[in-house]
């Protein structure tokens, strides 16, 4: 029995790719183990969204270099695609380098490795394939990911994804719906639809559903309690998506809509294809939808040329939208990207200063917003039990964490109601209640 260890960095797409890679390896007789030491084959599924993420894999490879004689190392995912066979120079103990667009070829690549291949690569981006496999090994028994679209056709000036994941390819709606039904039959009650830009989903088969239609049909699958999706692009986030969510409570009260900056001139330099006003219109749709939709976002500070006035507009946008939570980052220069050559790079020190200000501002918004939940009763899906606090961990439709007390056992995976008694910046706490 060949043993493998896999470590995954980066986004949910990567996490789900790993589930499929694990399934593929298992179907070929490999057994998963929990440490590098116990493995024959070590895989790193990598992320290159920012320089820090990219460095992690090279640290790992360095760390385990002395074990190289007895093991095979593989670098897959975004750093693999970006750095290609340069990885063999930098880390000669690596034998396989493959990007996500080549995972359909994984069985052949494994055969090459098994036959003693030392520099096996899967690096072509010239594909119309999406990675579909019957062998997915899912990590969570209640919530499942489904990739509906791979790659990205946008060209945001800071972003590596079009280079690491290639052009957009949508799966047929037939295969997505079939996977949804199978998951419902297998007892999954929550599905998260994944793609670098799910809003530009377009069914390649003759029915040609768009994203709103796919969402509507997913929401009608019997047995499915919650459908989420990530991530969205404001340019492709059209009103029918909100209208669809408003009609069906199975479609969760949460939209992650990355804005990146509150300044239209920075948005233009970022090649985001929308203005601040156009973004705000989408926020209005959500706020006027009749559903209490939680809105979250991504912010980049210190993009080249971002002035103090631009930055101030981002802070004002946070106040205006009142996001439920944000992910915020310092701009990181990435290989191949259009912004690499821009003048007027901002110093690390200034980026750190702006990041701290954004995070502080958002923290006070979250304290205020979450406090409004005290006294409310929310439906939660139980994710697990925290022994240290003696509380169950619940997740609301809005994707907020609601920790609650309940003396019963084995609640994981169930849907219960809990009353919010306390609120902090990042979570709510309370007790379960019985609803007649
Ligand atoms: N530097 C900093 N943040 C970035 N992101 C993407 N590329 C970069 C970069 N070069 C952020 C964006 C995106 C999120 C996934 O990561 O905010 O929405
Ligand atoms: Fe990282 Fe982006 Fe690749 Fe996801 S798609 S792993 S966030 S670089």
Given a cut of 80, whether residue 436 has pLDDT beyond it is no
Q: Please report the DSSP string for 161-174 in residue order.
A: HHHHH-S-EEPPHH
Backbone φ and ψ for 335, nearest 5 degrees, come out as -55, 150
Task: Verify whether ligand 1 is closer than 6 Å to residue 430 (CB atom).
Answer: no
Tokens in use for 130? 């999406």
The pLDDT assigned to 127 comes to: 87
pLDDT of residue 345: 93
Give the model's pLDDT for residue 69: 86
197 pocket-lining for ligand 2 (C-beta < 6 Å): no
Half-sphere exposure (Cβ direction) of 182: Cα atoms closer than 13 Å = 12
Using the atom order of ligand 1, give the atom closest to the CA of residue 332. Answer: 1
Atom of ligand 2 nearest to the CA of 45: 6
Q: What is the pLDDT of residue 414?
A: 97
**168 CA to centre of ligand 1 in angstroms:** 19
Distance CA(108)–CA(94), nearest Å, equals 17
The pLDDT value given to residue 134: 87
Nearest 5°: the CA angle 166, 170, 175 is 135
Q: What is residue 429's three-state secondary structure?
A: strand
What residue has token string 């493995």? 39
Q: Which atom of ligand 2 is nearest to the CA of 48?
A: 8
CA of 13 to the centre of ligand 2 (A): 7
Ligand that comes closest to the CA of residue 297: 1
pLDDT at 12 over 90: yes
Q: What is the pLDDT of residues 88-131, one digit of tens each?
A: 999 999 999 999 999 999 999 999 999 999 999 999 999 888 99
Say yes or no: CB of residue 257 within 6 Å of ligand 1.
no
- CB of 11 shorter than 6 A to ligand 2: yes
Q: What is the pLDDT of residue 68?
A: 85
Output the pLDDT for position 231: 97
Q: Give Cα 299 distance to the centre of its chain.
A: 15
pLDDT digits (tens, 9 = 90+) for 303-353: 999 999 999 999 999 999 999 999 999 999 999 999 999 989 999 999 999
Average pLDDT along the chain = 97
Q: Which two tokens stand for residue 197?
A: 């830009």
Question: From the CA of 50, how far away is ligand 1's center (Å)?
Answer: 7
Atom 7 of ligand 1, residue of closest alpha carbon: 159
How many helices (H) and strands (E) the chain has is answered by 13, 19
258 Cβ below 6 A of ligand 1: yes
CA separation for the pair 379, 352 (Å, rounded): 38
pLDDT in tens, 254-298: 999 999 999 999 999 999 999 999 999 999 999 999 999 999 999
| Residue 48 Cβ contacting ligand 2 at under 6 Å | yes
Is 162 a pocket residue for ligand 2 (Cβ < 6 Å)? no
Q: 211: CA distance to ligand 2 center in Å?
A: 22
Handedness of CA 322, 327, 332, 333 (dihedral sign): negative
Q: How confident is the model at residue 6 (pLDDT cuts 50, 70, 90)?
A: very high
pLDDT at 23 over 90: yes
Burial of 93 (0-12, 13-18, 19+ CB in 10 A): middle
Q: Structure pTM?
A: 0.96
For the CA of 165, the nearest atom of ligand 2: 5
Ligand 2 centroid vs 46 CA: distance in angstroms? Answer: 8
Query: Closest ligand 1 atom to the C-alpha of 328?
Result: 17
**Nearest atom, ligand 1, residue 160 CA:** 7
Query: Is the alpha carbon torsion for 133, 136, 142, 148 positive or negative?
Result: negative
């Amino acid at each position: 029995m060949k043993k493998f260890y896999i470590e995954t960095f980066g986004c949910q797409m990567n996490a789900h790719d790993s589930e499929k890679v694990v399934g593929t390896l298992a179907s070929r007789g490999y057994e998963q183990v929990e440490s590098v030491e116990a493995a024959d084959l070590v895989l790193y599924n990598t992320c290159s969204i920012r320089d820090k993420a990219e460095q992690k894999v090279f640290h790992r490879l360095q760390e385990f270099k002395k074990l190289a004689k007895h093991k095979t190392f593989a670098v897959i995912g975004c750093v693999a695609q970006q750095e290609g066979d340069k990885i063999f120079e930098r880390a000669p103990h690596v034998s396989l380098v493959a990007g996500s667009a080549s995972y359909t070829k994984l069985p052949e690549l494994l055969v090459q490795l098994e036959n003693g291949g030392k520099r096996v690569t899967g690096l072509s981006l010239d594909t119309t394939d999406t990675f579909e496999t019957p062998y997915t090994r899912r990590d969570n028994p209640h919530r499942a990911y489904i990739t509906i679209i791979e790659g990205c056709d946008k060209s945001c000036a800071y972003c590596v994804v079009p280079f690491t994941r290639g052009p957009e390819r949508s799966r047929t709606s037939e295969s997505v719906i079939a996977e949804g039904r199978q998951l419902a039959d297998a007892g999954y009650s929550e599905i998260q639809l994944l793609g670098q830009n799910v809003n530009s989903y377009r069914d390649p088969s003759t029915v040609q559903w768009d994203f709103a239609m796919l969402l509507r049909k997913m929401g009608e699958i019997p047995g499915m309690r919650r459908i989420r999706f990530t991530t969205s692009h404001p340019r492709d986030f059209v009103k029918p998506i909100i209208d669809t969510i408003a009609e069906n409570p199975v479609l969760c009260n949460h939209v992650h809509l990355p804005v990146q900056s509150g300044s239209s001139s920075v948005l233009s330099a970022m090649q985001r294809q929308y203005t601040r006003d156009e973004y705000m219109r989408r926020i209005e749709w959500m706020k006027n939808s009749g559903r209490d939709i939680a809105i979250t976002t991504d912010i980049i500070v210190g993009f080249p040329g971002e002035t103090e006035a631009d930055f101030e507009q981002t802070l004002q946008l946070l106040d205006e939208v009142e996001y439920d939570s944000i992910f915020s980052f310092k701009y990181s220069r990435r290989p191949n990207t259009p912004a690499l050559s821009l003048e007027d790079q901002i110093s690390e020190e200034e980026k750190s200063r702006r990041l701290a200000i954004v995070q502080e501002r958002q923290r006070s918004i979250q304290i205020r917003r979450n406090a409004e939940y005290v006294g409310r009763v929310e439906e939660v899906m139980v994710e697990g039990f925290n022994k240290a606090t003696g509380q169950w961990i619940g997740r609301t439709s809005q994707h907020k964490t609601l920790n609650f007390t309940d003396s019963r056992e084995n609640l994981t995976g169930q849907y219960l109601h809990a009353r919010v008694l306390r609120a902090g910046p990042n979570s709510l706490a309370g007790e379960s209640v019985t609803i007649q």
